[in-house]
A and B are shown apart, each in its own frame.
Chain A
Amino acid sequence: MSKSIRQLVADLHLYAGLFVSPFILVFAVSVVFLVHSWVPGGSAPARSWNESNLTLPADFEQLKGREQVDAAQVVLNRIGIPGEIWNIRQFPARRRIEITVNVPGSETVVNIQTDTKAATIARRSTGLADALIYLHKLPGPHLVAIRGNSFFMQVWRGLADATVYLILFLTSSGV
């Protein structure tokens, strides 16, 4: 290998390594929490509040899967609750829809009463360790059809992939 190519590979190894190092630390540190099923700190008590006069899509209760998640994202954005929708549970007899929304380190449960168009919201901080675990495990192999319903999760999906590709480059160029 010529000297200039060696220098180029060495430079790319250095800069790729520097860029990806915080992401590697996120994955490495969260491994310890995942392997030992241990999360330091614990979660704080939830903070609750109410919202009323919600604007809900007419067929909100009939929607399923990704369509329902996309409609729920619009409703949540209107009341200022951004994040990745984890799941949606419906209780048709009670005209209630429960949406769990996450950002790393925080979980919000939104209970929407569809007949009165009111919502009860409970948000709890889950801590830094939980944020690392959350990012390590997502997007993951489960609920693929609805995963990546928020902007940050789409970004993270790309970055998680990029971390792997960069690690493969770093190890290969290191050898």
Chain B
Amino acid sequence: MPSSPESLTPAGAPSADLSRWCTRWNRRLHYFLGLYFLFFIWLFAFTGLVLNHSSWEFFRLERRAVATDRSIRVPESASPVDQARDVMRQLGLAGEIEWVATQPDPTRLDFRVTTPASLVDLKVDLKQGRVAVQNAANNAAGTMQLLHTFTGVRRSDSRNDRDWLLTSIWALSMDAVAGGLVVLVLGGLWMWLELTPKRVPGLIVLSSGLLICGWLVVGLKWIYG
């Protein structure tokens, strides 16, 4: 098998080989990582667009609510989270527990169970062993939108934490997509730098993007204090 001309170059051959190897793998990574994350990227991009245009009728979040009243066995645990889990188990519910109100009355337990597809409000009477259930099911458009924001935590709310395995998996997926996008961007920049004739026009385009983005991210604060 004949060697390639570069491999016969006496000086700098290992580095040339390494550079070619990196270039080839970077190209593959850019392509296959893009393919792997394709549907995630489309989901987040499209739902991001919809969230910014809530007037778009064709993709509006709609909920269909059903209210029921059920009797339950009173949970024995003293911890509100364990009590909530017990009630959910009895009602066959799964999802992220969300504390929407403070619990001033020890005989009551009010909480919400959320999934991207539904939002269930539960008002438990711990004395009577009764629970009022308001189950609101989202339409497909609503489910997709909620996937965009479904993290199980809120910055301004320290009471709530991720407590459902699927939320943790989804949060990990969001991290992976974000990391994947960073790798795609960096790999793309590398490929551009290898295209010598495109360096100058590319630099102009990249600089204009950086300038506008920089104006928004740090420039406004710098200008206006």
Contact = CB atoms under 8 A, between A and B. Distances in A.
B94 interface: no
A104 B216 contact: yes
A71 interface: no
Interface stretch (A54-62, A91-99, A112-120, A164-172): A164-172
A128 B55 CA distance: 31
Taking residues whose C-beta sits less than 8 angstroms from the other chain, chain A's interface range is: 35 or more
Closest 3 CB pairs of A and B: A22-B213, A31-B178, A105-B221
Interface stretch (B42-50, B66-74, B121-129): B42-50
A8 interface: no
A103 B217 CA distance: 9
A24 B178 CA distance: 9
22 contacts: A14-B198, A17-B185, A17-B188, A18-B189, A19-B206, A21-B209, A25-B185, A31-B174, A32-B178, A36-B153, A82-B224, A105-B221, A106-B221, A131-B217, A131-B218, A140-B52, A144-B54, A159-B216, A161-B52, A168-B45, A171-B42, A175-B38
B175 A132 contact: no
Given A24-B184, A35-B174, 4 more contacts: A23-B213, A128-B218, A131-B218, A152-B220
B46 A14 contact: no
A139 B220 CA distance: 17
A37 B154 contact: yes
Contact of A104 (B31, B208, B220): B220
Contacts of A141: 51-52, 54
A31 B175 contact: yes
B216 A24 contact: no
Interface in B207-225: 208-210, 212-214, 216-218, 220-221, 224-225
B101 interface: no
A23 B215 CA distance: 12
Interface residues of B, number: 50
A25 B185 CA distance: 8
Interface of B: 31, 34-35, 38, 41-42, 45-46, 48-49, 51-52, 54-55, 151, 153-155, 171, 174-175, 177-179, 181-182, 184-185, 188-189, 192, 195, 198, 201-202, 205-206, 208-210, 212-214, 216-218, 220-221, 224-225
A138 to B, nearest CB: 8
Given A125-B221, A144-B55, A175-B35, A23 B155 contact: no
A109 interface: no
A82 B224 CA distance: 7
Interface in A128-175: 128, 131-133, 135, 139-141, 144, 152, 155-157, 159-161, 163-164, 167-168, 171, 174-175
A88 interface: no
B220 A105 contact: yes
Contacts of A167: 41, 45
Contacts of A125: 221
A123 B178 contact: no
A70 B187 CA distance: 44
B214 A22 contact: yes
Contacts of B151: 34-35, 37
A122 interface: no
Contacts of A135: 216-217
Contact of B209 (A20, A31, A106, A133): A20
A29 B178 contact: yes
A144 B49 CA distance: 14
Contacts of B182: 25, 28-29
A37 B153 contact: yes
Contact of A21 (B154, B189, B225): B189
